[in-house]
């Protein structure tokens, strides 16, 4: 008798295990648990799947999120070594977010190392025909909690300065436009020049950049032959005189008595607020008449909103108390990459990712991008199909000219002979000279 019971028990046990596995694979009503993955229905950005956002394995307690979706698994972060940018996927993109910085790359848009898909976004670009690498921009949409993927609903971009250049100092990497002192670094994109030595004193130039201390700007893109000529200046307001309707932007005294307003009104003007002032005539001495005053990229302050900022540190007191783009920042518990923590201080260019709380950006990730006198990493990325192919030294991706002919260029999943129109690639480079991205790495993608 006992010899017959053992096989029966074994068969019953196997049947029970099979039924349990079948029930788990069905997913019930789509809700997971804290210890099991459920089949969710939330929209997210997936890993390597080429399809659109859809349903997939939920990573949270309710099973929301998605394991399939748009995008690739390539990391789209500056230097591609610190975990920023496009990660491995699988996390729901749920947090309301805003990002302000400079475009690190194209193929959707890569801002501050994070790739936002723009399939359903509205895009508004002033002072240029299209968004290009190095242009300052604001992206609104949603991101995942770890700041690895985003979905943009709105992208806006405009230049910060346009006017005659003076006081060029190639040694220090600085110059003045419209009363604003501009500095460059290794990540400055030169749209139509080889560098600052190519800029002629007195010539009209256009600059995109990130405001730092009052009257200063860190250039992210420079165009020395802009198609537009109307003067433009951006900076934080100083010496506001509401009675006489004037304020100072750097060295300029701006008269706004006859100006129209957009994105801001006269009641919102205050010292420290960053604005763009546009005019029709160049300044006379240090006096500038504004015909339009625009609010700069709006920085949200609501509790819980996810916020990405790129800029230059000001008002540094400690790791837990400084400002970026006029926003109070607490990086006490942040993961800091790109340089030693001790290098943080005024004038250091950083990217910060975190959540607003009580008017303070509480940072999860901080990437040091440039330390005065030391330098820092620079990297740009293009994701898309090759077009206008002539040779490895001349082709385009997302409309951006690329040179991949250098002896140090690394090719993955192919070689230079595989470059051709229509081939999908991810291109990474660290310089844009005369408008051309100098490729360090070209990866062929399916």
**CB distance 56 to 361 below 8 Å:** no
Higher per-residue confidence, 392 vs 42: 392
Residue 416 pLDDT > 80: yes
- Say yes or no to pLDDT of 37 above 50: no
Q: Per-residue pLDDT tens for 128-144? A: 999 999 999 999 999 99
* Strand, helix or coil for residue 79: helix
Residue 100 main-chain phi, psi, to 5 deg:
-130, 125
Q: What does each C-alpha distance from 40 to 22, 32, 44, 90, 422 come to in angstroms?
A: 17, 8, 10, 11, 35
- 396 pLDDT exceeds 70? yes
Closest C-alpha to 116, from 436, 383, 303: 383
Cβ–Cβ contacts within 10 Å for residue 113, how many?
31
Q: pTM for the whole thing?
A: 0.79
Higher-scoring residue by pLDDT: 61, 290: 290
pLDDT in tens, 240-295: 999 999 999 999 999 999 999 999 999 999 999 999 999 999 999 999 999 999 99
Find the mean pLDDT for residues 394-402: 97
pLDDT for 57 beyond 60: no
Give pLDDT, residue 339: 92
* Short-list 102, 98, 97, 45, CA closest to 78: 102
Q: How far apart are CA 116 and CA 137, in angstroms?
A: 12
pLDDT beyond 90 at 375 = no
Of the listed ranges 44-48, 76-80, 217-221, 300-304, the least confidently predicted one is 44-48
* Residues forming a β-bridge with 58: 38
> With pLDDT > 70 as the criterion, what percentage of the chain qualifies?
79
Give the confidence band of 409 by pLDDT, cuts at 50, 70, 90: very high
pLDDT tens for 155-171 read: 999 999 999 999 999 99
Pairing between β-strand 252-255 and β-strand 246-249 as defined by DSSP bridges: antiparallel
Per-residue pLDDT, 108: 93
Alpha carbon 89 to its chain's center = 19
Would you say 205 and 223 are in contact if contact means Cβ atoms under 8 Å apart?
yes
Checking if the pLDDT of 383 tops 50, the result is: yes
Over range 341-355, report the average pLDDT: 97
pLDDT at 45: 26
Mean pLDDT of 39-48: 28
Mean pLDDT confidence for 216-240: 97
- % of the chain exceeding 90 in pLDDT: 77
* Mean residue pLDDT across the chain: 84
pLDDT at residue number 265? 95
> Would you give the end-to-end CA distance of the chain in angstroms?
62
Say which residues have a Cβ less than 8 Å from residue 397's Cβ, sequence separation at least 6: 106, 107, 382, 383, 384, 385, 386, 387, 425, 427
Dist CA 407 CA 416 (whole Å): 11
Give the model's pLDDT for residue 192. 96
**Among 1-5, 213-217, 245-249, which is the least confidently predicted range?**
1-5
**Tell me, what's the pLDDT at 40?**
30
Q: How much is the average pLDDT of 184-196?
A: 96
**How far is the C-alpha of 12 from the C-alpha of 444, rounded, in Å?**
52
């Amino acid at each position: 008798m006992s010899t017959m019971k053992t096989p029966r028990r074994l068969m019953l046990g196997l049947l029970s295990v099979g039924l349990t596995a079948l029930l788990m694979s069905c997913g019930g009503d789509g809700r997971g648990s804290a210890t099991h993955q459920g089949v969710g229905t939330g929209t997210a950005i997936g890993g390597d799947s080429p399809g659109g956002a859809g349903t997939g394995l939920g990573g949270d307690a309710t099973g929301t999120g998605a394991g399939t979706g748009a995008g690739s698994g390539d990391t789209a972060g500056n230097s591609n070594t610190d975990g920023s940018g496009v990660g491995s996927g699988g996390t729901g993109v749920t947090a309301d977010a805003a990002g302000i910085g400079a475009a690190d790359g194209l193929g959707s848009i890569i801002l501050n190392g994070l790739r936002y898909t723009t399939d359903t976004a509205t895009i508004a670009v002033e002072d240029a025909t299209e968004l290009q690498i190095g242009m300052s921009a604001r992206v609104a949409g949603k991101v995942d909690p770890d700041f690895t993927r985003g979905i943009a609903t709105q992208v806006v971009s405009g230049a910060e300065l346009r006017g005659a250049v003076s006081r060029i100092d190639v040694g220090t990497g600085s110059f003045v436009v419209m009363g604003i002192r501009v500095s460059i670094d290794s990540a400055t994109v030169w749209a139509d020049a080889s560098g600052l030595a190519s800029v002629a004193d007195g010539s009209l130039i256009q600059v995109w950049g990130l405001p730092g201390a009052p009257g200063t700007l860190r250039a992210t893109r420079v165009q020395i032959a802009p198609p537009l000529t109307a003067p433009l200046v951006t900076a934080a307001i100083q010496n506001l005189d509401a009675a006489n309707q004037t304020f100072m932007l750097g060295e300029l005294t701006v008269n706004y008595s006859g100006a129209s307003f957009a994105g801001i009104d006269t009641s919102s003007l205050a010292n420290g607020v960053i604005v763009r002032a546009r005019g029709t005539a160049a300044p006379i001495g240090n006096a500038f008449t504004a015909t339009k005053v625009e609010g700069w990229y709006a920085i949200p302050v609501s509790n819980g909103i996810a916020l990405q900022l790129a800029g230059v540190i000001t008002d540094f007191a400690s790791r837990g108390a400084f400002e970026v783009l006029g926003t109070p920042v607490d990086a006490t518990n942040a993961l800091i990459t790109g340089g030693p923590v001790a290098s943080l201080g005024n004038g250091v260019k950083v990217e910060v990712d975190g959540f607003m709380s009580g008017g303070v950006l509480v940072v999860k990730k901080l990437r040091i991008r440039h330390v005065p006198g030391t330098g820092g990493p620079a990297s740009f990325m293009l994701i898309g199909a090759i077009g206008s192919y002539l040779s490895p030294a001349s082709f385009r991706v997302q409309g951006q000219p690329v040179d991949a002919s250098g002896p140090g260029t690394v090719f993955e999943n192919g070689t230079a002979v595989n470059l051709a129109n229509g081939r999908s690639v991810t291109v990474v480079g660290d310089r844009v000279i005369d408008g051309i991205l100098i490729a360090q790495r070209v990866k062929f993608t399916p």
